[in-house]
Amino acid sequence: MGSINLKQVTKDFGDVSVIKPIDLAIKDGEFIVFVGPSGCGKSTLLRMIAGLEDTTSGNIEIDGQDATDTPPAKRGLAMVFQSYALYPHMSVRNNIAFPLKRAKVSKAEIEKKIASVTKTLNLSDYLDRKPGQLSGGQRQRVAIGRAIVRQPSAFLFDEPLSNLDASLRVNMRLEISELHKTLATTMIYVTHDQVEAMTMADRIAVFNAGIIEQVGSPLELYNTPVNKFVAGFIGSPKMNFIAVEPTATDATCCLGIRPEHITISTTSGTWPGKVGVIEHLGSETFLHVHVEGKATFTVKAGGDCPYVYGDNIYLSAVENKMLHFDAAGITLPQQHASLVAI
Amino acid sequence: MATSNSRTLARLMLFPSVVLLLAWMLVPLCMTLYFSFLDYNLLTPGNNAFIGFLNYEFFLTDPAFFASFFNTILLVGGVLLITLGGGIGLAILLDQAIWGRNYVRIMVLAPFFVMPTVSALVWKNMLMNPVNGLFAHFATWLGMSPIDFFAQIPLLSIIIIVSWQWLPFAALILLTSIQSLDREQLDAADLDGAGPFSKFYYIVLPHLSRAITAVILIETIFLLSIFAEILVTTSGGPGYESTNITYLIYTQSLLQFDVGGGSAGGIVAVIIANIVAIFLMRLIGKNLED
Ligand SMILES: Nc1ncnc2c1ncn2[C@@H]1O[C@H](COP(=O)(O)OP(=O)(O)OP(=O)(O)O)[C@@H](O)[C@H]1O
Ligand SMILES: [Mg+2]
């Protein structure tokens, strides 16, 4: 059990409104990822769900029960912090046992639970060490262990992997996904990392300045973003935007095209341009192409890209892959877009 | 200081200050040591004969020595207990987001800026005076007979005065330590179901252990040589009830003009201070490591 329902939830710090009214229904067992630019209120909302931050107005329901004013420990949620927040004076064993001891679980029961958790997380060899004597990845695992051992109805992660190096991050990402599959517990996961969001999430919620712009599956957000913000935020490298003049029949103010939906030709195309910096990643290549009178385009090409700095080339968009945005940045319907393309 | 080169350089550059410090310490210490073996009394000037350990014998077998030795321990221990307990409490209070917190912090610090003699005089004449003191007025108002602090509970009165002076120091050190506590640890403890007492005992207190150690070590060093407060209030009396080692040495050497005996007492005090220091470092010094 672990459904979480946010109903018109808001948060003010003094007269700054950090969370504007938010509605969000998180289903039991779902892996939902919060993404958004820095300072948009992701951590704040997560802490409100955990009960560490008061709710200014609105309701938080956990398992159908109103939990808006329930103290953190009574909500049955567990949180993994970015700084791990391990207790530095306690051994790994005591760190993991701490929530159980507070809940007055019997000694034998605690031993059993610790054994099973440390086995799952490969921590058995470190039980008597202090957190200061562990590597970043091991600390992260202890933090996760401390969360799992309480068998919460939902896990809250606040950028849990941002302090780890790239390769460890890939490993831990897989471990957390694996954990989600085996435990089948609701997880709310805050991240800055595009790859984490796209690969781990059942659904992604894109935040911007205290509101949710769009909620949907990763591919839904990628293919049919509701507005220019989501289109630009999801996907790496970013979508290219081209400003156009709206006409009497067509409200389009801006066109959006993803780097992989642009074809390159040496002879003809929609936009003539000059090749700038080229980033070779082995399996693929990103070209930054300066187009006269427009912006710089990012174009994705295959690994064996023949172009060099300064080449003159032509770019064109793959048909029907272009997104149209109106003056307010709202995505215009697809049929309309294809009509214009003709 | 990684390479052997930089280590040598560091030693070379430290050399002058170490020599200066050593001379500064050693010359008076050696002179005291020398005097302590002489029959050196200012009232009977003359030969200053070498009398071996006689001064030490007199000092150590004097009943006043034992009284003042235990008084010193009580004084140091009592003040440590009060300042640590009160300091932790104050630090936690001052860490809360209360209105006008900055002003309160400065006010709490104020006693530390008052000279020991002045604060002792204020306590003696304005607060603890059995006739005019505030406490006496309060007691009469309650219908009780006022306490004559310096006659009835001289040592405790001095402990109270000294604690009042050192409380801000302890509170300030502990406050900075509390402020360096990672708030996410407290949040995590909240989620783990720890109540206020558990959070204090399992998270705040272990975090403070280092600062507590520092406070104990620093305060002990200064408290072993409390003098002005005793001189101004009780002059060590009644009897030897509020005499500590420092004050005893003063009465020996200055009031009785016995330089030799006073010097012997001084050396004993140095030895006691070192024993206390070694004892403390063994006991709690490991908190300062890692
Ligand atoms: N205690 C506080 N008092 C006042 N303002 C706060 C407080 N905590 C957060 N804020 C503000 O609320 C906004 C949202 O903060 P929050 O930490 O939720 O951002 P975030 O989305 O998690 O950002 P990041 O991705 O950088 O972690 C920020 O503008 C921040 O300055
Ligand atoms: Mg954050």
Distance A50 CA to ligand 1 centre (A): 15
CB contact under 8 A, A52 and B207: no
Angle at A55 between CA A52 and CA A59, to 5 degrees: 115
pLDDT in tens, A278-323: 999 989 999 999 988 778 999 999 888 888 898 899 999 887 888 9
Q: Can you give A15-26 as a three-state secondary structure string? A: CEEEEEEEEEEE
Chain A positions in Cβ-Cβ contact with residue B187 (cut-off 8 Å):
47, 50, 52, 72, 79, 81, 85
DSSP per-residue codes, A182-251: HH--EEEEE-S-HHHHHHH-SEEEEEETTEEEEEE-HHHHHHS-SBHHHHHHSSSSPPEEEE----SS--
CB contact under 8 A, A77 and B191: yes
CA quadruple A118, A120, A125, A131: dihedral, nearest 10? -60
Scan for tokens 């801000």, then name that residue. Answer: B168
Judge if A316 and A291 occupy the same domain.
yes
Judge if A255 and A181 occupy the same domain.
no
Judge if A45 and A83 occupy the same domain.
yes
User: Of A176, A180, A182, which Cα lies nearest the Cα of A160?
Assistant: A176
Residues with CB under 5 A from ligand 2 (ion): A 43
What global pTM score does this model have? Answer: 0.79
Judge if A196 and A262 occupy the same domain.
no
CB contact under 8 A, A98 and B290: no
**Percent of residues, chain A, with pLDDT higher than 70:** 97
Judge if A147 and A220 occupy the same domain.
yes
Is the CB of residue B187 less than 8 Å away from at least one CB of chain A?
Answer: yes
Judge if A23 and A149 occupy the same domain.
yes
Q: How many domains does chain A have?
A: 2
Exposure of B139 in the CB half-sphere (CA atoms within 13 A): 16
The complex scores an ipTM of 0.81
User: Of B21, B77, B45, B11, which Cα lies nearest the Cα of B260?
Assistant: B45
Sheet holding A312-317, edge to edge: A262-265, A312-317, A271-280, A284-291, A296-302
User: Per the domain annotation, does A231 fall within a domain?
Assistant: no
- Which among B182, B191, B193 is the nearest to A50, CB-wise? B191
Q: Is A210 in the pocket of ligand 1 (CB under 6 A)?
A: no
Q: Which residues of chain B from 188 to 207 reach within 8 Å of chain A, CB to CB?
A: 188-194, 198, 202-203, 206-207
**Percent of residues, chain B, with pLDDT higher than 70:** 99
What's the CA gap between A184 and A153, in Å, rounded?
10
Chain A positions in Cβ-Cβ contact with residue B188 (cut-off 8 Å):
79, 81, 85, 87, 146
Span A253-264, average pLDDT: 91
Name the residue at shortest CA distance from atom 1 of ligand 1. A13
Give the end of a domain, one of A175, A207, A226. A226
pLDDT of residue A122: 83
pLDDT in tens, A300-311: 998 888 888 988
pLDDT in tens, A47-93: 999 999 999 999 999 988 888 888 998 898 999 998 889 999 999 99
Name the residue at shortest CA distance from atom 14 of ligand 1. A41
Give the end of a domain, one of A226, A261, A287. A226
- CB-based contacts of B30, cutoff 8 Å, min separation 6: none
Identify whether B238 is preceded by a cis peptide bond (ω within 30 of 0).
yes
Q: How close, in Å, is residue B254 to chain A by CA atoms?
A: 51
Residue A340 predicted with pLDDT over 50? no
- Which among B187, B193, B209 is the nearest to A103, CB-wise? B193
CB contact under 8 A, B193 and A99: yes
pLDDT of residue A339: 45
Residue B283 predicted with pLDDT over 60? yes
User: Of A235, A79, A78, A95, which Cα lies nearest the Cα of A159?
Assistant: A79
Judge if A243 and A219 occupy the same domain.
no
How large is the angle between the packed helices B54-61 and B63-95, nearest 10 degrees?
60
Judge if A222 and A245 occupy the same domain.
no
Residue A175 predicted with pLDDT over 50? yes
Q: Is A87 in the pocket of ligand 1 (CB under 6 A)?
A: no
Six-digit token string for A11? 């948060």
Name the residue at shortest CA distance from atom 31 of ligand 1. A39
Q: How close, in Å, is residue A50 to chain B by CA atoms?
A: 8
Q: Are A183 and A166 in contact (CB under 8 A)?
A: no
Give the end of a domain, one of A199, A226, A253. A226
Query: Best of A11, A43, A163, A233 to mutate for ligand 1, by most ligand atoms within 8 A of CB?
Result: A43
CB contact under 8 A, B190 and A73: yes
Q: Is A191 in the pocket of ligand 1 (CB under 6 A)?
A: no
Q: Choose, out of B182, B192, B209, B213, the residue to mutate when testing the contact with A (most A CBs < 10 Å).
A: B192
Q: Is A42 in the pocket of ligand 1 (CB under 6 A)?
A: yes
Q: Is A44 in the pocket of ligand 1 (CB under 6 A)?
A: yes
Q: Are B211 and B175 in contact (CB under 8 A)?
A: no
Residue A175: CB atoms within 10 Å: 17
Which CATH number belongs to the domain containing residue A42 in this structure?
Answer: 3.40.50.300
Structural domain of A280:
237-339
Residue B154 predicted with pLDDT over 70? yes
The more confidently predicted of residues A131 and A340 is: A131
Q: Which atom of ligand 1 is nearest to the CA of A44?
A: 18
Domain boundaries, chain B: 62-289
Identify whether A72 is preceded by a cis peptide bond (ω within 30 of 0).
no
Please identify, in words, the CATH class of the domain defined by B62-289: mainly alpha
